[in-house]
Amino acid sequence: MQRLGRKISGGKYKKFRKKKLYELPGKPRPVRLGAEKRKMLKGRSGILKSVLLTAEKAYVLDKKTGKIKAAKIKTVLETPSNQFLARANLLMKGAIIDTEAGKARITNRPGQEGKIQAVLVD
């Protein structure tokens, strides 16, 4: 049986270079529930990106009426990807949140877009 990361002869594979700065992954920025707080990040070619650190409201779409309204978030009910994220009240794509308008599912990535968009769940 061949060992992981080894040649068939048993020798090690060597990296030919380190990763460049643009190849490195970004830092995860989990959005927490609380008073709204933002941060501006510099992107490539001088672009400024507004990211969300904490949030207390979401823009909720009601599919029946087709209207969007801002609703205050009460709590995170569940996160399908990981149950521990819901316990920590982390807001991310796919999370089911309890708002003043009702139960809603987050449809965007708030850590990268600077706002929370959601759709009401029946």
Instruction: Say how far apart CA 37 and CA 81 lie, in whole Å.
Output: 25
- 79: amino acid identity, one letter: T
pLDDT mean by block of 10 residues, the chain; 122 residues: 79 90 86 93 87 95 95 96 92 96 95 92 86
- Predicted pLDDT of residue 50: 87
SS3 percent helix, strand, coil of the chain, rounded to 5, is 10, 45, 45
Tell me the CATH number for domain 30-120.
3.10.290.70
What's the whole-model pTM score? 0.78
Show me where the domains of the chain are located.
30-120
- Predicted pLDDT of residue 2: 63
Other beta carbons less than 10 A from residue 86's beta carbon: 20
**DSSP single-letter state for residue 19:** P
Cα four-point dihedral sign 66, 68, 73, 79? positive
- Predicted pLDDT of residue 4: 76
Query: H-helix or E-strand containing 110?
Result: helix 110-113
Closest CA to 94 of 110, 76, 79, 74: 79
Enumerate the β-bridge partners of residue 103. 98
